[in-house]
Structure 1
Amino acid sequence: MTKSKLSQQLAVDNLKIGSHVYSSRLIVGTGKYPSEDIASKAINSSGAELVTLAIKRFSQQEAISNILEVIGDKKLLPNTAGTLNAKEALRSAQLSRELFKTNLIKLEIITSSENLDPNMLETIKAAEMMVKDNFEVYVYCDRDLNNCLKLEDLGCVAIMPLGSSIGSGRGFDDLDDLILLRNKIEQILIVDAGIGVPSEAARVMELGYDAVLVNSAIAYAKEPILMASAFKNGVKSGRKTFLAGRMSRSKSFIASSPTKFLK
């Protein structure tokens, strides 16, 4: 790609997910921050335009305006975190549509309260029901290719395989799995869960992933606002690297300067 073509690509490098378009490829969460004030400032520092919120964290006694004040002018992506089966997740999604007037939903069904990894049997059931109910489904899932292909075929607008367990900060349990998914899945791919530092976000963006979702790595940082800014830059750097195209690998050295005059 020539420099001028690359510049043109970067100038219009927006991310379209379903019916919405974003200029940022970083999605952030609202939980685990020391305070609402820090959460609000970190979200702004991240440059994210899409912010996810666990519906189960919402209490009828808590004013919706308090939650939306933290999110500010960002677009809300409600999520079904904490649900254990398809029926419960669908009910949670329908509640969020009523409360927040949006058909965006992040589908997340965990195996148990002790194991936050995705329950894929129930996730696939719920995805089918939600797509039929006119939700734009962003789906948290495992790294199994067949499961991800099923979710793609069902019409989910974004497939979101975990890098490693939620909140673990381990990064990637198996990067080869993520590489395989990117090679086989045509739909939007977003790494969700486990990323601990901006360099890991950059790494998957270099592989051609469309976005990353980060919450714990920012919220648990000693300086969440600074970490949010670091993730913003990491994601941008990884995306630029992918578009620029890395040099090919070689088993032997290749001199960067002429060597014929050294003989």
Structure 2
Amino acid sequence: MDKVVASAAEAVADIGDGASLAVGGFGLCGIPSVLIGELHKLGSTNLAVVSNNCGVDDCGLGVLLRDKRLRLVTASYVGENKEFARQYLEGELEVHLTPQGTLAEKLRAGGAGIPAFFTATGVGTQVADGGMPWKYGADGQVEKESQPKETRTFGEGDDAKDYVLEESIVTDFALVHAAKGDRHGNLVFNLSARNFNPLCAMAGKTVIAEVEELVEPGDIHPDEVHLPGIYVQRVVALTPDQVEDKRIEKRTTREAEGAAK
């Protein structure tokens, strides 16, 4: 039952070329940066990544992106990563842009064993009708695009509404970051880090969690557990320095009251 491994390098050692990964985080909040760093050192390439976004140019998944380790990214938005946008538009990377709520449910449903579901999000757009650019050629022309999805009407009369069928997501591995975890893999996430980390963990066949605070089984009250240990296979305890090393995606400040002009 003890799922703690000695190091992050050991935890990711079997993630090989061509693997698919669900990676937690929201912007730069709650990203498993230590695990991503060790995966970068490992040298694995041709990876297919599912994540809300792709970090920034020099942090998070942006590190793998920068060195051309990713072949496919399924995400909600390009965000602040200029290299992500460049690789997509210049035909170096395949990108499946997905509505944020739909992406979250695709991950959750995959973990729950639900192969597909209907949602109203995207009906009447390229999300349902097809034609969304997935990959550009070097000449700037669309080389690969999304295909039409099944749509169906549910309800009767004034309550009738169209829905589009979305397939769920299951990946080979999932990398997540938690504020607290025990040796059995039960995890607790902090604030916005709870957005995508639990869902990514549910979707991964092998789940690796880096935790800021490692505690013993029983130290986390059952009612406080955000993700049960049944979903987690490996736990890595971060060092104090690794815990403190957190980036701010966009720093905004204002003058203190009474400060000299």
Q: Is TM > 0.5 for Structure 1 vs Structure 2?
A: no
Q: Normalized per residue, which structure has more strand?
A: 2
Instruction: Looking at secondary structure, tell me which structure has more helix per residue.
Output: 1
TM-score (norm 1): 0.32
With structure 2 as the length reference, what TM-score do the two structures score?
A: 0.32
| Higher RCO structure, 1 or 2 (CA under 8 Å, sep 6+) | 2
